[in-house]
């Protein structure tokens, strides 16, 4: 249920509705809009009586939300969500590039990458300190030591940090060191982890599960929103199909419906989506054309010697050429680069 307030509703009237929701044992979610506030509610397993709210002063109407992903749905929030970070906004009107190595390898590589990115106007660095690897014998990441290297890189350069959280055990330390918490494809339906990041006060970048439908992906986002963290960024990273010409099938066709059904920003990861560096630029341009709010790209000063995912990692000259092209394309799609 969504309680829409009149545009002239007073703060006291809004508070009264919030209290009325809480009095039913439900969780109120005030959603300030451009012209008026709406109050969403979650926690009910049976239908709530609309009349219960429509009699309250300042209430315009109470609307039943039909979608299972209530807080994530456009029914609940018509306007696009902008996720704000100290390193730029992600959302409508902008095209955000997040770039960096697959994993945190060393301080010099992070510094070199951060300086290069900032020189090109890219303000968010990606790199995993905790790595979900298919083989237990592959490089597992530097863990907390890697998080400290990321924090040092931010301190010295001023770049923002996007890094993956794999388990609830490390939630506090990843929240402390990161600016955006990444939830990987393999954890999209790790409900304990989703509930835990719902309590975090940093934005969450939620990758689509490699076999998840759009609805399952939005329901995963709903877990985070329902926990009280409204700063969720979706990220399409390719799904499993019969195709074997690429690591995954980058499902760019999910971007328009995701944007139609949900108000959250959507990024695209063409690196994991293709698995091959040669295809990353084309899929990046296509992501912008598909309506994505940005891309997350694996880039490294020496991709052939990257500790993980080198085959899909681009070098700096390729990144620079791509950024130059994106800057030319951006106005055509109503975007400005950065955020
Ligand atoms: C990554 O971004 O390095 C990563 C592990 O991504 P995904 O969860 O999409 O495989
Ligand atoms: Mn990777």
Task: Write out pLDDT tens, residues 150-192.
Answer: 999 999 999 999 999 999 999 999 999 999 999 999 999 999 9
Residue 244: Cβ-neighbour burial (10 angstroms; 0-12, 13-18, 19+): exposed
φ/ψ region of 184 (left if φ > 0, alpha if ψ in -120 to 50, else beta) reads beta
Q: How far is CA 123 from the centre of its chain?
A: 15
Q: Which residues pair with 189 in a beta bridge?
A: none
Q: Is 278 left (phi over 0), alpha (psi -120 to 50) or beta?
A: alpha
Pocket of ligand 1 (CB under 6 A): 102, 128, 132, 184-185, 207, 237, 272
Residues 6+ apart with CB under 8 A from 324: none
- Over residues 109-113, the mean pLDDT reads 98
H or E stretch including 92? Answer: none
| Percent residues over pLDDT 90 in the chain | 96
Q: Which is nearest to 319 in space by CA: 290, 276, 280? A: 280
109 φψ region: left (φ > 0), alpha (ψ -120 to 50), beta (else): alpha
How far, in Å, is the centroid of ligand 1 from the Cα of 114? 19
Burial (CB count within 10 angstroms: exposed 0-12, middle 13-18, buried 19+), residue 58: buried
- In this structure, which residue's CA is closest to atom 3 in ligand 1? 102
What does the pLDDT read at residue 235?
99
Q: Which ligand is nearest to the CA of 306?
A: 2
Q: Is the dihedral of CA 206, 210, 214, 220 positive or negative?
A: negative
The CA 309 to ligand 2 mean position distance, Å, reads 5
Ligand 2 center–CA 171 separation, angstroms: 20
Nearest C-alpha neighbor of 88 from the set 258, 270, 233, 297: 233
Please name which of 61, 94, 39, 41 lies closest in space to residue 295, comparing C-alpha atoms: 94
Distance (angstroms) between ligand 2 centre and the Cα of 134 equals 11
Contact 216, 263 (CB under 8 A): no
Classify 92 in phi/psi space as left (phi over 0), alpha (psi -120 to 50) or beta: beta
Considering only CA atoms, which residue is closest to atom 9 of ligand 1? 185
- Place 338 in a pLDDT band, splitting at 50, 70 and 90: confident
pLDDT reading at 328 higher than 70: yes
Distance, CA of 333 to CA of 80 (rounded, Å):
16
* Pairing of the two strands 88-90 and 83-85: antiparallel
pTM of the model: 0.96
Ligand 1, atom 4, residue with closest C-alpha: 184
Atom of ligand 1 nearest to the CA of 184: 8
Q: Which ligand sits closest to the CA of 312?
A: 2
CA of 103 to the centre of ligand 2 (A): 7
Residue 69 corresponds to which tokens in the numbers above?
């992903």
Atom 6 of ligand 1: nearest residue by CA position: 184
Average pLDDT value for the chain: 97
């Amino acid at each position: 249920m969504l309680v829409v307030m009149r545009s002239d509703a007073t703060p006291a009237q809004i508070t009264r509705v919030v209290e009325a929701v809480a009095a039913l044992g439900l969780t109120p979610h005030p959603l300030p809009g451009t012209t008026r506030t709406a109050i969403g509610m979650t926690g009910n397993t049976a239908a709530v009586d609309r009349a219960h709210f429509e009699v309250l002063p300042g209430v315009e109407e109470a609307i039943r939300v039909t979608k299972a992903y209530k807080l994530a749905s456009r029914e609940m929030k018509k306007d696009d969500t902008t996720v704000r970070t100290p390193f730029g906004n992600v959302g409508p009107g902008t095209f955000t590039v997040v770039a960096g190595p697959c994993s945190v390898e060393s301080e010099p590589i992070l510094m070199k990458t951060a300086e290069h990115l900032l020189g090109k106007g890219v303000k968010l660095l990606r790199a995993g300190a905790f790595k979900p690897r298919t083989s237990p014998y592959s490089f597992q990441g530097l863990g907390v030591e890697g998080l400290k290297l990321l924090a040092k890189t931010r301190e010295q350069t001023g770049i923002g940090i996007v890094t993956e959280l794999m388990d609830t055990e490390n939630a506090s330390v990843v929240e402390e060191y990161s600016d955006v918490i990444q939830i990987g494809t393999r954890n999209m339906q790790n409900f304990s982890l989703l509930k835990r990041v719902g309590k975090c006060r940093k934005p969450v970048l939620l990758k689509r599960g490699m076999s998840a439908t759009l609805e399952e992906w939005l329901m995963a986002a709903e877990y985070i929103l329902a926990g009280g963290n409204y700063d969720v960024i979706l990220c399409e990273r390719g799904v499993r199909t019969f195709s074997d010409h690429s690591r995954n099938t980058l499902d760019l066709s999910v971007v328009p419906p995701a944007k139609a059904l949900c108000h959250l920003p959507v990024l695209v990861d063409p690196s994991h989506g293709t698995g091959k560096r040669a295809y990353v630029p084309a899929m990046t341009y296509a992501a912008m054309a598909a309506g994505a709010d940005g891309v997350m790209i694996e880039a490294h000063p020496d991709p052939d010697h990257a500790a993980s995912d080198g085959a899909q990692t681009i070098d700096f000259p390729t990144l620079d050429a791509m950024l130059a092209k994106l800057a030319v394309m951006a106005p055509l799609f109503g975007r400005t680069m950065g955020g």
